[in-house]
Amino acid sequence: MDVDVAVVGVGVAGAFALRALSKDLNVVGIDKRQTLGYPVECGEIIPTKKEMRELLPDLEDYSLFDIPKRFESNRTKAFAFILPNGKTYTVDFEMHVLRRDEFIQSIAHNSGHKLLLGLRVSDFDSNLHLSSGKEVKAKVVIASDGANSKIAKKLGVWKYELASAKQYVMKGVECDEDMIYMYVGNKIAPGGYAWIIPKGDGIANVGVGLRPKFAKISIHKALDTFVGEHPYSSQFLKKAEVIGKIGAVVPVSLPLERTVYGNVIFAGDSASMILSHVGAGIPTSMIAGDIAGKVVNRYFKEGCSLQDYESLWRRAMFDAMKRSNFIKNLWDKIASCDERLCKYFTLIGNKDMGMILRSRVPLKLKVMAPFISILNTLL
């Protein structure tokens, strides 16, 4: 099959690329899943449009974040951030809890472009080789094939760190459904955090993300400890039952140094486009997919360079990603010991926590950063 554009992987970034790509182009979206976005391998939260203005202030257009009500299972008002000693910070921060699978399906199917579903891209040279044995020859490839990107591996550019995640969908969860709960500590989430994300009606995404390089426990043990034994989550989960489970990975590095290689554009997790300190990649993938589609339109219509994509997505969100990465690196230096972590947090106020969750670095963290190894010996 010969096409103008192949979108490889129709998750968040791929769906938004398809939506942006002109109907005048011959486009195909390819995904190994038969049902797009399903199973849901995600906590499903994204900031509301008001919060996106704070989070990514350099975006020109926020209309992508006008999320129709039908894709929202809940709207939360605040985060509770819970330390290993139980100290809790509460930060006002409005989030949509998405029906992520339906969201992706609707965006992709309404794009009007051809979709090849249930087919894996098994190899890539000048052509895309599909698991069916067929080949697709594309003038431009948008590689939105997620954290284990086949295309990035084939081009030899796949080199980011992956965090492991496991999540239960639980019913009978008795927490405040206006609140998203984030828990840190080495017994449950070394290098990451655990979460309870209420979807409404007592149903919640309950998960753990950890970084294998810091972990002495398996992800399975970490989640079961969090659900069954953790003193500050068990109050919400004691009557809860598991009704679904998934395991997945999320990139936690800065994005690829280059995201355009010849006629191949990387968008979303395939390029590690993530706010790494919280593992948030839905909004960044939406933006990347949208910019990729629009640049490709101009490439065909006006002959612009595909390299424009590189500068546009970086202008929109690279600064926030760098700040997020700074916070993550600082976290890595202070979080190996729960007791010391709690001592550090005596310096952190609620306002600082609000900044941190919005990928902003409080001045005191900037000042502390060069002295962390000395402080670690003192605390």
Ligand X SMILES: Cc1cc2nc3c(=O)[nH]c(=O)nc-3n(C[C@H](O)[C@H](O)[C@H](O)COP(=O)(O)OP(=O)(O)OC[C@H]3O[C@@H](n4cnc5c(N)ncnc54)[C@H](O)[C@@H]3O)c2cc1C
Separation CA 75–CA 47 (nearest Å): 10
Q: Does 207 bind ligand X (CB under 6 A)?
A: yes
Residues 275-304 as b/e (b if ≥16 CB within 10 A, e otherwise) read bbbbbbbbbbbbbbbbbbbbbbbebbeeee
If we measure between CA atoms, which residue out of 254, 207, 237, 269 comes closest to residue 13?
Answer: 269
Q: Does 14 bind ligand X (CB under 6 A)?
A: yes
Which of residues 76, 111, 167, 186 is near ligand X by CB under 6 A? 167
What value, to the nearest 5°, has the Cα angle with vertex 295 and ends 294 and 298?
90
Q: Does 192 bind ligand X (CB under 6 A)?
A: no
Separation CA 163–CA 327 (nearest Å): 16
In this complex, which beta carbon is closest to ligand X, that of residue 198 or of residue 207?
207
Q: Does 44 bind ligand X (CB under 6 A)?
A: yes
Distance of closest approach, residue 188 Cβ to ligand X, in angstroms: 15
Distance of closest approach, residue 203 Cβ to ligand X, in angstroms: 15
In this complex, which beta carbon is closest to ligand X, that of residue 270 or of residue 345?
270
Which of residues 6, 121, 206, 320 is near ligand X by CB under 6 A? 121
In this complex, which beta carbon is closest to ligand X, that of residue 252 or of residue 353?
252
Q: Does 354 bind ligand X (CB under 6 A)?
A: no
Number of residues that bind ligand X (CB under 6 A): 38
Q: Does 290 bind ligand X (CB under 6 A)?
A: no
Q: DSSP H helical segments within the chain, as ranges?
A: 12-20, 49-55, 100-110, 150-154, 219-228, 234-237, 282-302, 308-334, 338-344, 350-357, 363-368, 372-378
Q: Does 293 bind ligand X (CB under 6 A)?
A: no
Residue 34 in tokens: 């038969």
Q: Does 191 bind ligand X (CB under 6 A)?
A: no
Query: In Å, what is the CA distance from 72 to each residue of 69, 136, 195, 320, 375?
Result: 5, 35, 18, 25, 44
Listing DSSP states for 16-73 in one string gives: HHHHHS-TTS-EEEEES-SSTT-S--S--EEE-HHHHHHH-TT-S--GGG---GGGEE
Which of residues 3, 18, 28, 43 is near ligand X by CB under 6 A? 43
Q: Does 29 bind ligand X (CB under 6 A)?
A: no
In this complex, which beta carbon is closest to ligand X, that of residue 31 or of residue 352?
31
Query: In Å, what is the CA distance from 168 to each residue of 17, 34, 86, 282, 321?
Result: 30, 22, 23, 19, 28
In this complex, which beta carbon is closest to ligand X, that of residue 138 or of residue 280?
280
Which of residues 7, 20, 41, 210 is near ligand X by CB under 6 A? 41
Separation CA 52–CA 362 (nearest Å): 19
Which of residues 7, 13, 20, 189 is near ligand X by CB under 6 A? 13
In this complex, which beta carbon is closest to ligand X, that of residue 14 or of residue 84?
14
Which of residues 19, 96, 99, 150 is near ligand X by CB under 6 A? 150
Distance of closest approach, residue 116 Cβ to ligand X, in angstroms: 9
User: Which residues sit at the interface with ligand X, rule CB under 6 A?
Assistant: 8-14, 30-33, 41-46, 120-121, 144-146, 150, 165, 167, 207, 248, 250, 268-270, 274, 279-283, 285
